[in-house]
Amino acid sequence: MKKKDIFYYTKRKIIAISVSIVFVCLLIFAVITQILYQSKVFNDIDKQLIRQEHIILTMPPVVFNGNMPRFADELFFRNPMPIVQEFIVVVYGEETVQFISPNPYFNGENFPYILNASEGEIQKIRYKDHDFRGIRFKLNGYDIEIFKNVDSELQSINQLRNSITIGLISLIVIAVLLSAILASRILKPVRENYDKQVFFVQDASHEMRTPLAVIKGKLEILANSWDVNIDSNFEHISKIMSEVVGLEKLNNNLLLLTKENIDLNISVTKVSLSTFIEGIGDFYCDLAELQNKEFQVIKPEEEIILQWDYDKVKQIMVILLENAFKYTRDDGKIFVSFKDEGKYIRIIVKDNGIGIKEEEQERIFDRFFRSSDVRAKNISGSGIGLSLLKSISKSLKITVKFTSKYGEGTEFKLLVPKVMK
């Protein structure tokens, strides 16, 4: 449960970060769209107001019945009227309203008063729940105001804002869902690796428990028999020694195993097959003599030059040969052959040892797996060799197959590329 929590918070963090990024981007987009639209709409209206101002200012004088009419009346007499209908014109002079163009919003007694505003400047006016933009200027001693109602424009701006808000909310919901899916995907391999590490540490500590318990027990016996001759305790001491050697080996293999998982770099060198075989063969010939076992190596007669990661292929051979020697009885026969197969070298390591029960065969490459027989017989080992072999051969593209018959023997077949990349 605890480890799930770690990922729960990480997942939440990933979601929060990605959604915030999306949110900020969308918000900036929304604000810019809104501002651009709004200023476009009002700019157009303001331009029209200024054009109307210009038209009035540049009207040629009209002579009516030989007289110059009052300026305010002039607007009536002109045909067509110079003012577009959607604009409202108020003419103010001699302290009274002289003229106000017909409109549904206000009359001579009730109209927005912008006489205090500076000349030629666009004003925003709210009057009895209606919104206007207006401009004021002077002509022939009159104050003239032109208004335009902007209710419908404001309504469409509001509509746009609402649509953007709804869009923003839906996109954020989608972003949350997508980032949740994304976070689970990203975390999947991390979680798997984490689980593997946990199992690895659990298995490793489990493997160490037995030898440590044995060592502790033996040491306790020794501690309680300090006055006894060391010879009579030889058995305990040698048991301790062998357990310590086992632990040491386990420790080395654990290091190799973790290294193998992290560092899969291969270093390729040119090497001849016979040099390679000599490098491993000699040691096992001696061992075979020592253990009274038969050890036979067959190799091609012609010289074959290989581009191999020497150390890693050797490590594989050592793992297989060590097992072959360990899991054969005194009359053991171990047979190794190297065969040229075009792009590959086929290597066979065969023994007539204890074999592996069929039901256990699929597990022999698992980390720390050791057959029940081997454990029962107390044959030393840590169950790491073949899992190490598996990860090395995967990185070197070596195919590994094996057959085994319980009580009769085991045969490993490797197909090793001559040129490694």
Ligand X SMILES: Nc1ncnc2c1ncn2[C@@H]1O[C@H](COP(=O)(O)OP(=O)(O)O)[C@@H](O)[C@H]1O
Closer by beta carbon to Mg ion, 93 or else 381: 381
Nearest to ligand X of 277, 324 (CB atom): 324
- Residue 350 CA to chain centroid, in angstroms? 45
Which span (153-161, 173-181, 202-210, 381-389) binds ligand X, by CB under 6 A? Answer: 381-389
Q: Does 332 participate in binding ligand X (rule CB under 6 A)?
A: no
Min dist CB 326 to Mg ion, Å, is 7
User: Minimum distance between the CB of residue 224 and ligand X, rounded to whole angstroms?
Assistant: 33
**Nearest distance, CB of residue 379 and Mg ion, angstroms:** 10
Q: Which residue in the set 370, 390, 398, 416 belongs to the binding site for ligand X (CB under 6 A)?
A: 370
Interface residue with ligand X, options 211, 398, 410, 416 (CB under 6 A): 410
Shortest Å, Cβ 383 to ligand X:
4
Q: Is 56 left (phi over 0), alpha (psi -120 to 50) or beta?
A: alpha
Residue 355 within binding range of ligand X, rule CB under 6 A: yes
The answer to whether 148 contacts ligand X (rule: CB under 6 A) is: no
| Residue pair 418/406 in contact by the 8 Å Cβ criterion | no
Dist. CA 160–CA 158, nearest whole Å: 5
Q: How far is the CB of 384 from Mg ion (least distance, A)?
A: 7
CB of 399 to ligand X, least distance (A): 17
Q: Verify binding: residue 398, ligand X, rule CB under 6 A.
A: no
* Least gap, CB of 203 to ligand X (angstroms): 12
For helices 385-395 and 234-262, the axis angle rounded to 10 degrees is 20
Report the candidate in 379, 353, 374 with the shortest Cα–Cα distance to residue 363. 374
DSSP 70: P
Contact flag: residue 334 with ligand X (CB under 6 A)? no
What gap in Å lies between CA 311 and CA 309, rounded to an integer? 6
- Provide the token pair at 387: 């899992």
Rounded-to-5 percentages of helix, strand, coil across the chain: 55, 20, 25
For residues 272 and 303, is the Cβ–Cβ distance under 8 A?
Answer: yes
DSSP 3-state assignment of 384? coil
Residue 98 in contact with ligand X, rule: CB under 6 A: no
Output the smallest distance, CB 176 to ligand X, in A: 47
Nearest Cα to Cα of residue 304 among 266, 347, 338? 338
Q: Does 371 bind ligand X (CB under 6 A)?
A: yes
Is 179 or 253 the residue whose CB approaches Mg ion more closely? 253
CA 234 from centroid of its chain's CA atoms: 58
Residue 312 interacts with which of Mg ion, ligand X, none, CB < 5 to 8 Å by class: none
Task: Calculate ∠ Cα 126-130-135, nearest 5°.
Answer: 55
Does the footprint of ligand X cover residue 37 (CB under 6 A)?
no
- Using the contact rule CB under 6 A, the part of the chain among 71-79, 127-135, 254-262, 369-377 near ligand X is 369-377
Residue 312 interacts with ligand X (CB under 6 A)?
A: no
What single-letter DSSP state applies at residue 64? B
**Strand 333-341 to 294-298 pairing:** parallel
Phi, psi of 126 (to 5 degrees): -115, 125
Contact (CB, 8 A) for 99 and 90? yes
> Could you give the 3-state DSSP secondary structure of residue 271?
strand
Give yes or no for residue 354 binding ligand X (CB under 6 A): yes
Under the binding rule (CB under 6 A), the answer on residue 150 touching ligand X is no
Interface residues with Mg ion (CB under 5 A)? Answer: 323, 385
Sequential DSSP letters for 318-377: HHHHHHHHHTS-TT-EEEEEEEEETTEEEEEEEE-SS---HHHHTTTTSTT---HHHHHT
Partner from Mg ion, ligand X, none binding residue 246, C-beta < 5-8 Å depending on class: none
Q: Per CB under 6 A, does 353 bind ligand X?
A: yes
Choices 49-57, 70-78, 304-312, 383-391; region in contact with ligand X by CB under 6 A: 383-391
The answer, yes or no, to whether the previous bond of 80 is cis (omega within 30 of 0) is yes
**Shortest separation between residue 317's beta carbon and ligand X, angstroms:** 13
Q: Does 356 bind ligand X (CB under 6 A)?
A: yes
State which residue, 343 or 377, has the beta carbon closest to Mg ion. 377
Q: How far apart are CA 219 and CA 93, in angstroms?
A: 119
179 contacts ligand X (rule: CB under 6 A): no
Output the smallest distance, CB 310 to ligand X, in A. 21
Note the residues at the interface with ligand X (CB under 6 A): 319, 323-324, 327, 351, 353-356, 364, 369-371, 374, 381-387, 410
